[in-house]
Amino acid sequence: MIAHILLLRPKQWTKNLLVFAALLFVGAFRDVAMVQLSVLAFIAMCLASSTVYVFNDLRDIERDRKHPRKCKRPLAAGLVKPSVAVVIGIVCLVSSLLLAWYVGRAALGIIAIYLVIQGLYNNWLKNVAVADVFCIGLGFVLRAVLGAAALRVEISGWLLFCTGALALMLGFSKRRNEFITMGDGGETRESLSDYTRPALDALVSIFACGAAICYGIYSLESPTARKYPGLILTSLFVFYGIARYVLIVFSKNEGGEPETLLYKDPHILMSVILFILTSILALSGFRIPLVTG
């Protein structure tokens, strides 16, 4: 049973917490109906992403068996039968689409676009350098858009830029880890042969800076920030979390499993917690003297 649950990669569901960004930044967390819609959208995205993971693992069983870490996945390790995995994948797919349809047509469309992009990624673009990571980044942006679509609210372009830049930072950090661990290519990921260590270092740095700048502008110039000037306080924890992540990537060669750093590094975990608490405080009307919207 544990192996069947691990097949869905529940650890990866932390990525889908971006669905709640709209709920937080429009201050709708006090509205029970809005919270319910966000939760349903979150579950729909979790099921959709698990669908992708299941069918991707089915496709890459032999390749994963040659990977030092992926060989432990349920299908590659022989803990789950492929026929059972197919059934699980179909159930996740149908459940995701039904939930998204219940949330709204826009949500259904976003889930459908996400699945199409992931299909292109798994069958083609994951072997193309840069395009592989941009597909991952677009998936994160769609998560944030899904949260706004579920609530039928607008989302700031600066927040989307920040989300995309953060995702690209994480994605290129992951490629950097794979490049160092497995070399420039091999049988595990074809796109690695087109990367170089200096290029990956530069790409991680570029998008880390981009994410910090975009969030800084969002915390000052977005409609939400103008209404709630206290939102500028949240930028401190965003900048600290990004700086901490980059430090770990370059000093310890982490980044292969970015979702685990949230739990492994107390600095990043505390940054996330304080960011959420400060956001709630700011959106509750807290104002900073001398700071205007």
Per-residue pLDDT of the chain (293 residues; tens, 9 = 90+): 788 888 899 888 888 999 998 888 887 778 899 999 999 999 999 999 999 999 988 887 887 777 777 777 888 877 888 899 999 999 999 999 999 999 999 999 999 999 999 999 988 888 899 999 999 899 999 999 999 999 998 888 898 999 999 999 999 999 998 888 876 555 556 788 889 999 999 999 999 999 999 999 999 999 889 888 999 999 999 999 999 999 999 998 887 777 777 778 899 999 999 999 999 898 887 776 655 55
Cα 157 to Cα 135: distance, rounded to the nearest angstrom: 19
Residue ranges per domain, the chain? 1-155, 156-293
Backbone phi, psi, residue 83, to 5°: -65, -40
Q: Which CATH architecture has domain 1-155?
A: Orthogonal Bundle (1.10)
To 5 degrees, how large is the angle CA 148–CA 13–CA 132? 85
